[in-house]
Amino acid sequence: MSGTAEHELDLIMQHDASTPGKPGVDLLDIDRLAGELVPVRRLRVREGLAIALAMMAICGLAIGFGLGVRGDVANGVPHWMFIARSATLLGLGTAAAAAALSSASPSIGGTRRTFWTWTLAIASVFPLGAIGVWIGDVRSLDDARRFLDPQYGMQCLRMSALCAAFIGTAMTVWMKRGAPVSPNRSGWLVGLASGSLGAAAYSISCSENVVMYIGTWYTLAIASCAIAGRLIVPRVLRW
């Protein structure tokens, strides 16, 4: 190749390297972009779960001071039904909360947490028991009122929902920092978790030990919260 040809080739390469979109151009200034990066703290499910449980504890304390604590619990000899009810609500709420919070940090190829479905199956013993009582023992409107105690039951609904609102809000704000890939599913789980934990918080004051009462009012409270979560949470999480 002659000297003139080599000189012309050098000019062409220099022109290509200085023209945007040409092969010789580095369109991305990697060093500049890297310098603008800000470290982001990784979301940890246990931290979000700790927040949800802390909110439940705060609600439980507030209810205990405001409405009083069950007599058997205050005396240190809780009824077995209270233990079973509280353990079921706490287990379901914790499992559903873990599933909801984990959805804020999706991973490729990861398995979805489905343990909450097992706890939901266990918790279904209470509404199924209530249905059995409805069918077998309720013969009149007076029987239904005696078992359900509507005035006290409405208090259960109100207080459980109020506690659930605080817990669900805290969970949603935490999840907003992540990237939930299924907002609708997350909404159901947040509602289910907050409803269960809210009912668990109220349980410290509830003196009822009747299966029909528990299976009816607590189920209504949790189901209502789950529906509310499905309607509200996805709107907040979408980005």
Cα–Cα distance for residue pair 78/97, rounded to 1 Å: 26
How do residues 160-204 score in pLDDT, each as one tens digit?
999 999 999 999 999 988 878 788 999 999 999 999 999 999 999
Average pLDDT over residues 15-44: 56
What local confidence, expressed as pLDDT, does residue 179 receive?
76
- Whether 170 contacts 197, CB under 8 Å: no
What is the pLDDT confidence band of residue 75, given thresholds at 50, 70 and 90? very high
Residue 66 CA to its chain's centroid (Å) = 26
CB proximity list for 26: less than 8 A, separation 6 or greater: none
Residue 62: Cβ within 10 Å count: 15
CB proximity list for 183: less than 8 A, separation 6 or greater: 233, 234, 237, 238
Flag whether pLDDT at 1 surpasses 70.
no
What is the pLDDT confidence band of residue 110, given thresholds at 50, 70 and 90? very low
Cα–Cα distance for residue pair 82/207, rounded to 1 Å: 8
How do residues 49-68 score in pLDDT, each as one tens digit?
999 999 999 999 999 999 99
Domain edges within the chain? 45-237
